[in-house]
Amino acid sequence: MGAGPHLPVPELEPAGPGWPAAPTAGAVADIPTPEAAPVTAATDPRPRSAHRARRQTAPSGWRWWIEWLAVVLVALVLAFGVRTYVAQMFFIPSGSMLPTLQIGDRIVVDKLSYRLHDIHRGDVVVFRRPPLEHADYSDLVKRVIGLPGDTIASVGGRVYIDGRPLSEPWLPDPEPLTSPSPVPQAFSLTHPYTVPAGEYFVMGDNRTNSEDSRYFGPIPASLVVGKMAFVVWPLDDTGWLVVLAAAAVVLIVAIVVVAFRRPAPDRTARATPLRGPPVPGTT
């Protein structure tokens, strides 16, 4: 069977831009091989946010110290503000408030409550030393007995307010005698005494061994530091609850600080496909 006629081979279309020309017969295509360029931040195909995230996850030493210094300063400011305007701890050095407060007790005084309401009869208050008191203590603690406008008297060892005996459940049983003091002033309770406006008559629960308003007179409201909230030492049931609550607050603050110091995840870093020249036979 003889060979058939040779059919003409159609010419290939010229290569588009970016493609090398077709090699001639007997020639070997010389395909240049580009040299590998070093990868830098400018040529790295990964997103720039990856470089930023890598730098942010390793803070420098000075930045770490600044962050903790800011935390310490904020804690000091908060502690100063709490001590000045909210609460303060005091030490009981004498027995004038026995048996309610023992020598050596440590109490927390609420400084905020009297900004919201008036002083009440029966409140245990801490106040600055009045002018007629010569004790070495700068602050004293007593119980409010007479309010502004009350007429207070000592009759038969009991306290009378406006002619009626005062119920004092805070005193031990049997009740100690409340006797007038030897000072010549009217507030000694030798005779009935009317408490001036804006002032309070205070006494210690240990009536037989307490220098109080029977000796130095009523105290003005401006001298009152605050109201005793609870005994913090030795701890009672209320004290333990307060300590646990304070520990919980400190733990929460520590967690918040750690959470804020942790770098946020970079949500913009995504895999970006590399784009090159089109592959023949694909669209």
pLDDT tens, position by position, 32-66? 555 555 555 555 555 555 445 455 554 567 887 88
Condensed to tens digits (0 to 9), the pLDDT of residues 80-96 reads 666 566 789 999 999 99
Instruction: Write down the CATH number for the domain with range 88-245.
Output: 2.10.109.10
Looking at the annotation, which residues are catalytic? Answer: 96, 142
Q: What percentage of the chain has pLDDT greater than the value 70?
A: 59
Neighbours of 148 (CB within 10 A): 16
Condensed to tens digits (0 to 9), the pLDDT of residues 195-222 reads 999 999 999 999 999 999 999 999 999 9
pLDDT at 124 (0 to 100): 98
Cis peptide before 174 (omega within 30 of 0): yes
Asked whether the beta carbons of 113 and 227 are under 8 A apart, the reply is: yes
Please report the sign of the dihedral spanned by the C-alpha atoms of residue 81, residue 82, residue 85, residue 90.
Answer: negative
From the DSSP assignment, how many helices (H) and strands (E) are in the chain? 4, 11
